[in-house]
Amino acid sequence: MNVNSHALRRAQARDAGPGRGRAGRPYPGRKARERAQRRGDVLAAARRLFARKGYARGTMVEIAGAAELALGTLYQLFPSKEAILYHLLESYIDGLTARVRAAIEAAADPREQLARVVQAQLEFSQENADVLRLYLSGWIGYEFTVRRRFGEQIDDKYEEYLRLLAGVFSRGSRSGVFANEPPRRLAVALGGMIHTLIRRWLRERGLDLAAEGKALLRLMMDGAGRPRRETGTRR
């Protein structure tokens, strides 16, 4: 699942009305479904525009035109370009977190869980490279108003991702598979290594992301050092 479909489902759930079906179950009304569809169309159009022109150069007028909406209708759906960016980044992190959680649940052994997490994150990155560029390359550099309004919310969602990784390290540490180090420290280290690799992949064409991911995993599992040889005087 890519970010577009994930964003649409989130919008449909968020905008669903309180109506009831035949069995007394809630269902979204026609207007709510139309609104959710329009929000999804706007996010898809903005995603394409930002990928082509960059966030800073894209305008609300262009987004409205690409989504085939009147400018006033666009502002009813999203109050600002910053809000659109936030929803794109939110959907990206939510999608990544869901993919990582599924990878962890697919295995019982902590080492296998970690291998699945790295593979899942790299595959998700390949599927969503355009939004990834917005997140990795631009998020820290966005104007102060964006960080002030949405930075804490995005950071909170990233913490959820780190908690999932920390849980794997915690279980592995208790079972003796991983080193007895603070799980969050290991989670931050792995997350940083993955993000650095993805940044390289975005810059270096032809980089074998799968092979580099396996090398990263070996480094994380086994370390970079070599066992010291015992040096003693033979008698």
147 vs 118, residue with greater confidence: 118
Question: Tokens for 105?
Answer: 């649940």
Q: 1-79: which CATH topology?
A: Arc Repressor Mutant, subunit A (1.10.10)
Question: Tokens for 140?
Answer: 């820290």
Instruction: Indicate where the chain has its CATH 1.10.357.10 domain(s).
Output: 80-223
Which tens digit of pLDDT belongs to each residue from 211-233?
999 999 999 998 877 666 655 55
20 vs 210, residue with greater confidence: 210
**Res 213: pLDDT:** 95
Half-sphere exposure at residue 41, Cβ-oriented, CA atoms within 13 angstroms: 15
147 vs 117, residue with greater confidence: 117
Comparing 53-57, 76-80, 96-100, which segment has the lowest mean pLDDT?
53-57
Smallest CA-to-CA distance from 88 within 123, 55, 124 is with 55
Distance CA 139, CA 3 (A): 17
Contacts for 108-111: CB closer than 8 Å, 24+ residues apart: 109/177, 110/168, 110/169, 110/171, 110/172, 110/175, 110/177, 110/178, 111/172, 111/177, 111/221
Q: What is the pTM of this model?
A: 0.76
Average pLDDT of every residue of the chain: 83
pLDDT over 90 at 151, yes or no? no
Distance CA 8, CA 74 (A): 16
Average pLDDT over residues 91-115: 95
Give the number of other Cβ atoms within 10 Å of residue 123's Cβ: 15
Contact 91, 101 (CB under 8 A): no
**Res 145: pLDDT:** 58
Which tens digit of pLDDT belongs to each residue from 13-59?
444 443 444 444 545 588 888 889 999 999 999 999 998 988 888 99
Instruction: Indicate where the chain has its CATH 1.10.10.60 domain(s).
Output: 1-79
17 vs 124, residue with greater confidence: 124
Contact 79, 149 (CB under 8 A): no
**Res 18: pLDDT:** 39
Q: Where are the alpha helices (DSSP H) in 25-70?
A: 30-53, 60-66
Smallest CA-to-CA distance from 216 within 104, 109, 114, 133 is with 114
Question: Tokens for 172?
Answer: 């592995």
Q: What is the identity of the amino acid at 199?
A: R
Out of 1.10.357.10, 1.10.8.60, 3.40.50.720, 3.75.10.10, select the CATH number for domain 80-223.
1.10.357.10
**Res 194: pLDDT:** 94
139 vs 118, residue with greater confidence: 118
What residues pair up with 26 in beta bridges, in sequence order? 20
